[in-house]
Amino acid sequence: ATIITARTDIETLISKMYDSSISEFNEFGNTIRQWKQEIIISFNLIEERIYKQDPKTGKTVAETKWRKANNAIAENRNKVIKQLKHNANGFHNWERFRTRALYVLNDDATYRIFATKL
């Protein structure tokens, strides 16, 4: 399905679920009906530009890709925070936990075994 056909496709699916003699299908049809708008929105495509440097010319080239929206980044951040709490066996100091979580979630943060001169 595409965003253009998603609404009619989902309404057809819901009506088939309601027409079924199986009670579980009727209940699932109710669930789909309640989440219909969110399901339809999930078919929207988002433009994503990726800038890469061409190895031959050295120029920056932009590639455009279309992808479906998702909440993978937010889910990953939640998983990292839960894992941080689990590994630490709990935090008793909120500021320490907050600082540690921000450090762990910062992609630019790094640490070195040996000190380097700046």
Signed CA dihedral, 50, 54, 58, 61: sign only = negative
In angstroms, the Cα distances linking 84 to 29, 71, 77, 79 are 39, 20, 11, 9
The pTM for the full model equals 0.53
User: Which residues of the chain fall below pLDDT 50?
Assistant: none
What pLDDT shows up at residue 35? 96
DSSP character at residue 14: H
Q: What is the CA radius of gyration of the chain?
A: 24
Q: Are 64 and 47 in contact (CB under 8 A)?
A: yes
Question: Which tens digit of pLDDT belongs to each residue from 49-65?
Answer: 999 998 889 899 999 99
Q: Where are the domains of the chain?
A: 3-41, 72-105
